[in-house]
């Protein structure tokens, strides 16, 4: 959209890219209700006056195995931050709490003009997946020609420690690259990866030796799908749970994490056949053999009313399963009416509430699980509400911050009230006059005409964000890195920078471990130093 000429920027401005609004979302909402009365533990207040404190990073339960291991073993020797708050591993998608929230402190609250120091960078093959890190080992996946590569780097230096590769002939039907879409999962001794062709792999963390593998696409009758396998697995005790997408009832499969043996299969025809849909006044869904089950959202285990729920946002909607058996607790239809569509953002759980969001004109919804764990109510449903494409929104004290929009020109960073879904503000990341900018015809870089200096790409696009030390760390899809305040009243950006190694497409969420920020673009990974000088000397 924006490549090659400044005219693209002008088109974006005409579409409203450079305007913040504090108006609520469109009123065309379905089944909207206000949250229950205070006697039934409502959500935190969202007025601009007194705001009740919501769950903090430290209070959110750690339900996955990797998260519990991180909480129990934070190596004292690797405290890159202040000694009062040791650093954390980021061993799985969206970090140790499965929600993009870090408990690390002692980070830079203001960035130097040139941005946080670059510690190292590495060129890679193609791919979209973020890395994961445990201790001094960072696992990153990429593809070179016909080889899918799992590579272990030293997290502090970028030096290669080991590689494992295997043959692949995956071709994306829409022309996207053929690299991995799913983040690695790292336990105390093993690494688990899920490739775009559905190969599930277990490697030894220390050596990279293969322990076991499964060809899920062949074994579970997975129909043709849009973008390859895109669900990051999760560990739960001795189980590795994957949204495989198999027919007729293998959308979700639990494997023995030690041996790779199938433990249970669940969800599919038996879950969705006959369920009322959003179409034609609730017309029941009719299952077909070719119905796609592959999900691009990663599963999540959450404790709600003391009961553990395996929450899986499948292509058809949300299924709550028993993580031990795969038995269904409840289901909720949440699907675009567009055939070429996916659900990709992970559910966000706040106490007994579940926030869902998707692009392709699906919008957002808030569910509240009843104490039985078998029923729920729809608090609100907004087809024109926050529409996250692939990045997962962040919750903080009653507000949700996330990127809404299917395509780059329409994408906005939004803040909405969790209790109502109402829009508090939104921004494209650029609030000035586009006439102040010009595009260099040779490099395509953007120059500020008032200063004569090159600047980061002005728009976030379909970005990603994590929360750390009281700020949002935002990565735009063209490599713009920003530090944004958690402010429910207006967008406040504290710093902005970019690095030549990180450009379009930067679709992987940032990861943070021990004060080091790792960014993955299509063919590069970089490590930045976010540690404040008083927190620890740089290594």
State phi, psi for 497 to the nearest 5 degrees: -155, 180
In 217-228, which positions are buried (b, 16+ CB within 10 angstroms) versus exposed (e)? beebebeebbbb
pLDDT at 84: 34
Cβ atoms of 255 and 261 closer than 8 Å: yes
Question: 503 to each of 7, 85, 395, 465, 479, how far by Cα in Å?
Answer: 20, 33, 27, 16, 4
User: Does residue 436 sit in helix, strand or coil?
Assistant: helix
pLDDT at 289: 77
- Distance separating alpha carbons of residues 302 and 323, to the nearest angstrom: 10
Cβ atoms of 125 and 149 closer than 8 Å: yes
- Distance separating alpha carbons of residues 464 and 509, to the nearest angstrom: 5
**pTM of structure:** 0.85
CA 398, chain centre distance (Å): 19
Cβ atoms of 360 and 315 closer than 8 Å: no
Each residue's pLDDT, cut to its tens digit, for the chain (539 residues) gives: 333 333 355 344 333 343 333 333 332 222 222 333 333 333 333 333 333 333 333 333 445 555 444 333 333 222 222 323 468 999 999 999 999 999 999 999 999 999 999 999 999 999 999 999 999 999 999 999 999 999 999 999 999 999 999 999 988 888 898 899 999 999 999 999 999 999 999 999 999 999 999 999 999 988 877 788 889 999 999 999 999 999 999 999 999 999 999 999 999 999 999 988 876 667 888 888 778 777 899 999 999 999 999 999 999 999 999 999 999 999 999 998 888 888 999 999 999 999 999 999 999 999 999 999 999 999 999 999 999 999 999 999 999 999 999 999 999 999 999 999 999 999 999 999 999 999 999 988 999 999 999 999 999 999 999 999 999 999 999 999 999 999 999 999 999 999 999 999 999 999 999 999 999 999 999 999 999 987 555 55
pLDDT at 45: 34
Q: Tell whether omega for the bond before 505 is within 30 degrees of 0, i.e. cis.
A: yes
Residue (of 71, 69, 85, 134) closest to 531 by Cα position: 85
Structural tokens at position 211? 């322990």
Q: The sheet that has 132-134: what strands, in order across it?
A: 132-134, 137-144, 147-154, 160-167
Q: What is the DSSP string of 307-325?
A: EEEEEEE-SSEEEEE-TTT
- Distance separating alpha carbons of residues 442 and 270, to the nearest angstrom: 57
Q: The sheet that has 376-382: what strands, in order across it?
A: 348-350, 353-358, 363-369, 376-382
Cβ atoms of 520 and 131 closer than 8 Å: yes
Residue 12, burial from CB neighbour count under 10 angstroms (0-12, 13-18, 19+): buried
Q: Which domains does the chain have, with CATH numbers?
A: 134-211 (2.40.10.480)
pLDDT at 174: 84
- Distance separating alpha carbons of residues 517 and 463, to the nearest angstrom: 16
pLDDT at 65: 59
């Amino acid at each position: 959209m924006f490549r090659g000429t400044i005219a693209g920027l002008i088109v974006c401005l005409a579409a409203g890219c450079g305007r913040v609004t504090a108006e609520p979302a469109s009123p065309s909402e379905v089944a909207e209700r206000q949250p229950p009365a205070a006697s039934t533990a409502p959500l935190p207040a969202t007025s601009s006056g007194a705001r009740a404190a919501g769950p903090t990073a430290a209070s959110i339960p750690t339900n996955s195995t990797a998260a519990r291991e991180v909480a129990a073993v934070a190596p004292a020797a690797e405290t890159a931050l202040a000694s009062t708050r040791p650093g954390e591993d980021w061993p799985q998608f969206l970090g140790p709490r499965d929600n993009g929230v870090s408990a690390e402190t002692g980070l830079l609250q203001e960035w130097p003009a040139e941005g946080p120091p670059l510690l190292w960078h590495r060129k890679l093959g193609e791919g979209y997946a973020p890395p994961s890190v445990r201790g001094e080992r960072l696992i990153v996946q990429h593809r070179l020609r016909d080889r899918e590569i799992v590579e272990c780097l030293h997290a502090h230096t970028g030096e290669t420690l080991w590689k494992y590769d295997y043959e692949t002939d995956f071709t994306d039907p829409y022309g996207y690259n053929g690299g991995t879409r799913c983040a690695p999962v790292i336990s105390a001794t093993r690494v688990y990866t899920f490739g775009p062709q559905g190969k599930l792999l277990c490697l030894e963390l220390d050596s990279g030796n293969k322990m076991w593998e499964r060809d899920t696409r062949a074994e579970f009758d997975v129909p043709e799908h849009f973008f390859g396998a895109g669900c990051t697995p999760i560990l739960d005790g001795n189980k590795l749970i994957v949204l495989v997408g198999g027919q007729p009832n293998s959308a979700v499969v639990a494997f023995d994490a030690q041996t790779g043996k199938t433990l249970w299969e669940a969800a599919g025809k038996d879950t969705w056949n006959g369920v009322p849909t959003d179409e034609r006044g609730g017309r029941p869904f009719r299952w077909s053999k070719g119905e796609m089950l592959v999900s691009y959202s990663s599963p999540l285990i959450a404790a709600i009313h003391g009961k553990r729920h395996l929450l899986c946002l499948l292509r058809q909607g949300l299924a709550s399963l028993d993580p031990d058996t795969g038995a269904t607790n409840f289901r909720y239809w949440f699907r675009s009416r567009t055939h070429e569509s996916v659900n990709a953002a992970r559910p966000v759980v706040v106490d007994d509430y579940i926030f869902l969001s998707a692009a392709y004109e699906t919008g957002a919804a808030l569910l509240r699980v009843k104490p039985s764990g078998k029923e729920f109510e729809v608090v609100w449903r907004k087809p024109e509400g926050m529409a996250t494409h692939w990045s997962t929104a962040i919750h903080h004290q009653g507000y949700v911050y996330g990127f809404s929009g299917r395509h780059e020109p329409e994408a906005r960073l939004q803040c909405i009230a969790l209790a109502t879904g109402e829009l508090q503000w939104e921004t494209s990341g650029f609030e000035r006059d586009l006439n102040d900018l010009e595009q260099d015809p040779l490099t395509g870089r953007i120059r500020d005409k008032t200063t004569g200096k090159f600047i980061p790409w002005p728009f976030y696009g379909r970005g990603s964000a994590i929360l750390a030390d009281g700020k949002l760390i935002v990565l735009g899809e063209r490599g713009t890195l920003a530090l944004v305040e958690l402010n429910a009243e207006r967008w406040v950006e504290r710093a902005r920078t970019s690095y030549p190694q990180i450009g379009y497409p930067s679709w992987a969420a940032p990861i943070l471990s021990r004060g080091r920020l790792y960014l993955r673009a299509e063919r590069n990974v970089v490590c930045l130093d976010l540690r404040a000088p008083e927190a620890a000397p740089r290594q």
